Chain A
Amino acid sequence: MARLYTNNLNIGYSERLIVKSLSVEIPDKKITTIIGSNGCGKSTLLKAMTRIISHQSGTVVLDGKDISKENTKILAKKMAILPQTPESASGLTVSELVSYGRFPYQTGFGRLTKKDHEVIDWALSVTGTTEFRSRPVDALSGGQRQRVWIAMALAQETEIIFLDEPTTYLDMSHQLEVLELLQKLNLNEKRTIVMVLHDLNQAARFADYIIALKDGEIVKAGACEKVITPNILRQVFNIDALIGQDPRTRKPMCITYNLIKGETKNEENINTISTGMCVNY
């Protein structure tokens, strides 16, 4: 059994459930990606698993304990969260923000110990942010800032890291940079990573395990070859996808796709125009 799993999780209000009796296991020391269309409940699921929002019924279990009954500081030593577009940290320098990740280990007035400083230095160097450690966070570019927030999550020294759309607002190379960093952490440090991603090909390329959601329910959860298939994508995104193999990574990839006829309003155009995309980078 995995360390982290949910059991019949219902999230939302009684009349309108956003996530419906969802039971899923998060494989240890793997990269898990949650995919689904807008409003399918993927962010909601991530937030409930990290106690940011409370759930209506069911349980989220970590190491055999219901997280809603566990001490929040103890949980913070086991799992870190990078929320979607965290608010700006005005007036803070990079190393100050990263040092905030040490909060679960601090007592009293919050003086940083030698160990704290070591972990902060490590988090800065592994995310490649050491060079701007004394710069204000606000003065950084989007990609740099995202790496600093990841460094803060790393300073928490948790075995599980949750990320809600960590690549949003980043350009292509910065997206890849962030994802490769996460992959490195997973391979070298055996961290369990759970994230919500929008891009199917990125999900297929970096995830060991994919959870596909539709209307708050799991359509399919499994290895990417099992999830990134025309049949599953039809159910999840209502698209007719052409799935090929990435010539470099050997992972499945969506080469092109059309909306499925009869389900949208401008159906005349659909067969002639398909959405092209950059196939590999």
Chain B
Amino acid sequence: MMQIDLIKKQRIILTILLLFITFTVIIGMGLGYSSLSYNRILPTLMGQGTFKETFVLFSIRLPRIIITLLAGMALALSGAILQGITRNDLADPGIIGINSGSGAAIAVFFLFFPVKAGAFVYFLPVVAFIGAFITACLIYAFSYKRNVGVQPIRLVLIGIGFSTALSGLMIVLISSAEREKVDFIAKWLAGNIWGADWPFIWAMLPWLAMLIPFSLYKANHLNMLGLSESVAIGVGISVEKERIILLLIAVALSASAVSVAGSIAFIGLMAPHIAKVLIGSRNQLFIPIAILIGGWLLLFADTIGRSLIQPDGIPAGIMVALIGAPYFIYLLLTKK
């Protein structure tokens, strides 16, 4: 019966994606400013590399690869959830003000604290996360209406409004800052993977380890919310409660991604969409695929981006946009 066929298809797609990711990881380990030849990767991984090889692999390449994968996955899952609760295929973490919220928070933080090495770096993700979280709460509060609750379309419109206003605020703040600070913020906005260090990975891993299974657990609820409000209520969903829970998960996921990888658009839009085209819109089926596509897309974009121009490379956010913008236009054109 077809149920089993679809699950089989899902398994095959997941396997192919895992192969893609493995392949990209291996290529990514060898690419970069300081060279590490491919036949030395395996010995180095086994602990038989020289000091330099070990340092390059374990302190530079691997953390970056892992954090990129994790951020991509988080963004994709966040986008999938948002598209479900807003019933809008064009929804993306950016629309609930995540990117601009954390951007504005970082800009404010920069104005009041000096740029210094050390603890400062570890503080930034926290700041970005708080900014994103406050913004999401505000958007939710503003789109809440007594008697009706939160209408998805209202949420989207208010989210876009907030996002635009905060971007404006950020530019005002940046224009009054010193040059050195402007450089950093500009890089952040372009989506530069800068949280490439083990502590960030350890900070992010628990989020994903918790939220991915939880989202799959909620997949059935997402299915119903994706239909229509009356249908969802009819089958016994507490629509308002589920929407808040899922929105919180989406915020937590994308805020954690944005806080280590900077402002990255399009992954949250593209990954779920491609996954839905591949397997249909049942959440249990497409969410795992979307997660892997998201991780792979960001890793792929960053791997190319950082090896194109030495030594700094092109920020992953820009590379993703180069792939994402045409896809977005294609989506708009084919959408009825």
Contact = CB atoms under 8 A, between A and B. Distances in A.
A92 interface: yes
A109 B237 CA distance: 15
Contacts, number: 85
A34 B125 CA distance: 58
Nearest to A109: B217
Contacts of B238: 72
24 contacts: A50-B234, A52-B230, A52-B233, A52-B234, A75-B236, A76-B235, A81-B233, A83-B234, A87-B87, A87-B227, A87-B231, A89-B227, A90-B281, A91-B276, A93-B2, A99-B3, A100-B231, A103-B220, A103-B235, A104-B235, A109-B284, A110-B219, A110-B284, A133-B2
Contacts of B236: 72-77, 103-104
B155 to A, nearest CB: 17
A166 interface: no
B219 A109 contact: yes
Contacts of A247: none
Interface string A154-185: 00100000000000000000000000000000
B74 to A, nearest CB: 21
B229 A52 contact: yes
Contact of A109 (B2, B216, B224, B282): B216
A83 B147 contact: no
Nearest to B220: A110
Contact of A156 (B217, B229, B230, B235): B235
A81 B282 CA distance: 21
Contacts of A110: 219-220, 223, 284
A86 B228 contact: yes
B280 interface: yes
B2 A134 contact: yes
Nearest to A111: B284
A92 B6 CA distance: 12
A104 B231 CA distance: 12
Q: How large is the interface on B (under 10, 10 to 19, 20 to 34, 35 or more residues)?
A: 20 to 34
A51 interface: yes
A80 B234 contact: yes
B230 A83 contact: yes
A106 B220 contact: yes
A93 B223 CA distance: 13
Contacts of B2: 93, 95, 133-134
Contacts of B224: 100, 103
A207 to B, nearest CB: 22
B234 A100 contact: no
A108 B231 contact: no
Given A103-B220, A103-B236, A109-B220, A91 B3 contact: no
Residue of B216, B219, B235, B276 with most chain A CB atoms under a 10 A cut-off: B235
B227 A76 contact: no
Residue of B3, B234, B276 with most chain A CB atoms under a 10 A cut-off: B234
Contacts of B281: 90-92
A81 to B, nearest CB: 4
Nearest to B87: A87
List 9 tightest A-B contacts by C-beta distance, closest first.
A76-B236, A91-B281, A110-B220, A81-B234, A73-B236, A83-B230, A103-B235, A134-B2, A87-B228
B187 to A, nearest CB: 38
A95 B228 CA distance: 18
A156 B282 CA distance: 18
Nearest to A82: B234
A25 interface: no
A112 B236 CA distance: 17
Contacts of A90: 281
A72 B236 CA distance: 5
A153 B236 CA distance: 12
A86 to B, nearest CB: 6
Contacts of A47: 230
A83 B276 contact: no
Contact of B228 (A75, A76, A83): A83
Given A47-B230, A83-B228, A103-B224, A96 B237 contact: no
Interface in A16-60: 47, 50-52, 54
Interface in B137-174: 147
A100 B234 CA distance: 11
Nearest to B228: A87
B219 A86 contact: no
A169 B276 CA distance: 29
A68 B2 CA distance: 38
Nearest to B147: A54
Given A47-B230, A86-B230, A100-B235, A95 B3 contact: yes
Nearest to A156: B235
Nearest to A97: B227
B237 A83 contact: no
B79 to A, nearest CB: 16
Contacts of B220: 103, 106, 109-110
Given A73-B236, A93-B280, A134-B2, 19 more contacts: A52-B234, A54-B147, A75-B236, A80-B234, A83-B228, A83-B230, A83-B231, A87-B228, A87-B231, A89-B227, A91-B276, A92-B281, A95-B3, A103-B223, A103-B237, A108-B217, A109-B217, A109-B219, A110-B284
A103 B232 CA distance: 10
B234 A91 contact: no
Nearest to A121: B1
A153 B227 CA distance: 13
A210 B229 CA distance: 28
Contacts of A252: none
A96 B280 contact: yes
Contacts of B147: 54
